[in-house]
Amino acid sequence: MTTPFPHIFEPITLRHKTLKHRLSFGAHTANMAVDGLPGERHLGYYLERAIGGAAMIVVEPIPVHRTGVLTQGNFRNDDDSVIPHFRKITDACHEHGTVMIQQLYNVGQHGDWDNSFEPNWSPSGLPSMHDHDGSHAMTENEIGEVIEAFAQAACRAKEAGFDGCELMAAYNANIEQFWSPATNRRDDKYGGDFEGRMRFSVEMLSAMRDATGDDFIIGFCTSFDPEVPDVLPVEEMQAIAAYHDERELMDYVTIGTGSYYSFGQIIPSVFYEDKYGPPYSEAIKQVVKHAKVQAESHIRTPDNAEYVIASGQADMVSIVRGQIADPHWVNKAKQGRAEDIRPCLSCNQMCWGRRHKDYWISCLINPSAGREFEFGGDQFIPSENPRHVLVVGGGPAGCEVARVAAERGHKVTLAEASDRLGGQFRLAGLQPRRAQITDYIDWFQRQLEKLGADIQYNTYMDAEDVRNLGADVVILATGSLPSERGWQRGLPTRDRLPGIDGANVCSVQDVMSRSVRPGKRVLLLDDVGTWKGGGTAWYLAERQHDVTIVTADTVVGREIVRTAADFKLRETLKRLGATFMTESAVHEWHSDAATIVDLLDGSQQRLEFDNLVLATVNKSMNELEVELRGSGLDVHAIGDCVSPRQTPAATYEGRRLGLAI
Residues contributing to the site for ligand SF4 (CB under 6 A): 321, 324-325, 344-351, 363-365
- Report yes or no: 390 and 415 within 8 Å, Cβ to Cβ: yes
- Which helix (H) or strand (E) segment holds residue 284: the answer is helix 278-285
CA triplet 193, 199, 204: central angle to 5 degrees? Answer: 160
Q: Which residues of 628-640 are buried (b: 16+ CB within 10 A; e: fewer)?
A: beeeebebbbbbb
Residue of 12, 143, 293, 319 interacting with ligand FMN (CB under 6 A): 319
Q: Does 321 bind ligand FMN (CB under 6 A)?
A: yes
Q: At its nearest, how many Å lie between ligand FMN and the CB of residue 297?
A: 4
User: Residues 5, 21, 23, 29: which binds ligand FMN (CB under 6 A)?
Assistant: 29
Rounded distance between C-alpha atoms, residue 576 and residue 276, angstroms? 24
Burial class (CB in 10 A: 0-12, 13-18, 19+), 101: buried
- Tell the smallest beta-carbon distance from residue 314 to ligand SF4 (Å): 21
Q: How far is the CB of 463 from ligand FMN (least distance, A)?
A: 44
399 binds, among ligand FMN, ligand SF4, none (CB under 5 to 8 A by kind): none
Give the nearest distance from C-beta 362 to ligand SF4 in angstroms: 7
Q: Which does 372 bind (CB under 5 to 8 A by kind): ligand SF4, ligand FMN, none?
A: none
Query: Does the protein bind ligand FMN through residue 57 (CB under 6 A)?
Result: no
Least distance in Å: CB of 564 to ligand SF4?
11
Instruction: Please provide residue 573's backbone torsions phi and psi, each rounded to the nearest 5 degrees.
Output: -65, -40
Q: Taking each helix axis as running N to C, give the angle between helix 396-407 and helix 436-450, from 0 to 180 degrees, rounded to the nearest 10.
A: 30
Which residue, 155 or 345, is less far from ligand SF4 as judged by CB? 345
Torsion of the alpha carbons at 482, 486, 488 and 493, rounded to the nearest 10 = -120
**H helices within 123-254, ranges in order?**
140-159, 174-179, 194-212, 234-246
Among 217, 249, 351, 414, binds ligand FMN (CB under 6 A): 351
Here's the x/- map for ligand FMN, 272-301, by CB under 6 A: it reads as ------------------------xxxx--
Strands 593-598 and 584-589: what pairing? antiparallel
Q: Taking CB within 5 to 8 Å according to partner kind, which of ligand FMN, ligand SF4, none is near residue 422?
A: none
Contacts (CB under 6 A) with ligand FMN, residues 66-105: 103
DSSP secondary structure code for residue 34 in this structure: B
Q: How far apart are CA 508 and CA 539, in angstroms?
A: 10
26 part of the interface to ligand FMN, by CB under 6 A: yes
CB of 560 to ligand SF4, least distance (A): 13
CB of 379 to ligand FMN, least distance (A): 23
Please state, in angstroms and rounded to a whole number, the distance separating the CA atoms of residues 237 and 16: 27
CB of 281 to ligand FMN, least distance (A): 12
Q: Does 28 sit near ligand FMN (CB under 6 A)? A: yes
120 vs 362, beta carbon nearer ligand SF4: 362
184 lies in the site for ligand FMN, by CB under 6 A: no
CB atoms within 10 A of CB 273: 9
382 Ramachandran zone, left/alpha/beta (phi>0; psi -120 to 50) = beta
Q: Which residues bind ligand FMN (CB under 6 A)?
A: 26-29, 60-61, 103, 168, 170, 221, 256, 266-268, 296-299, 319-322, 351-352, 355, 361
